[in-house]
Amino acid sequence: MGIATRPNDLRTDIPDPDPDNLPVDMTPVARELLERIVADHGPVMFHQSGGCCEGSSPLCFPKGEFKVGTTDVLVGRIGETEVWMDREQWRTWAHTGWSIDAVPSRGSSFSLDVLYDMAFIVRTTYCALPGTVAGAHPGNV
């Protein structure tokens, strides 16, 4: 019996993110939470979950405590905070406008936001009308 593996780089027509044009945005509520977390815990990083335990949430970790792998790509920076994602997930989201937001939550997670009874989420403009902003839409990815 063979070992099942996930094919790498299925969508090779979509390049990795451009470091000079990174698409990540953040709502004021999320930015305020991020500032509180950094003040309490020092520098942090995000890794956009691929949909397992956290459902597809941007997880916030102390910088360096989450080990990015060879299939992860840097998709943005919010100030000094890096945002990472799996390359295949990036290639699915590459044409989507998205923003990190924060909402009240009592969820359980490995992410630092749960210490503040909040949860970082992603809002998307994937199906939004032209001229609208990602943070204004209630649809989570």
12 domain residue, yes or no: no
- Percentages of the chain per state (helix, strand, coil), in multiples of 5: 20, 30, 50
Task: Name the more confident of 14 and 83.
Answer: 83
91 domain residue, yes or no: yes
DSSP, res 134:
G
pLDDT of residue 44: 97
18 domain residue, yes or no: no
Whole-angstrom distance, CA of residue 35 vs CA of residue 14: 33
> What's the whole-model pTM score?
0.76
DSSP, res 94:
T
> How many domains does the chain divide into?
1
For the four alpha carbons of 67, 83, 18 and 50, in that order, the dihedral sign comes to positive
Q: Which pLDDT band holds residue 122 (cuts at 50, 70, 90)?
A: confident
Q: Which pLDDT band holds residue 96 (cuts at 50, 70, 90)?
A: confident
What the block records as the tokens of 97 is 């406008």
Find the domain containing 42 and state its range. 24-136
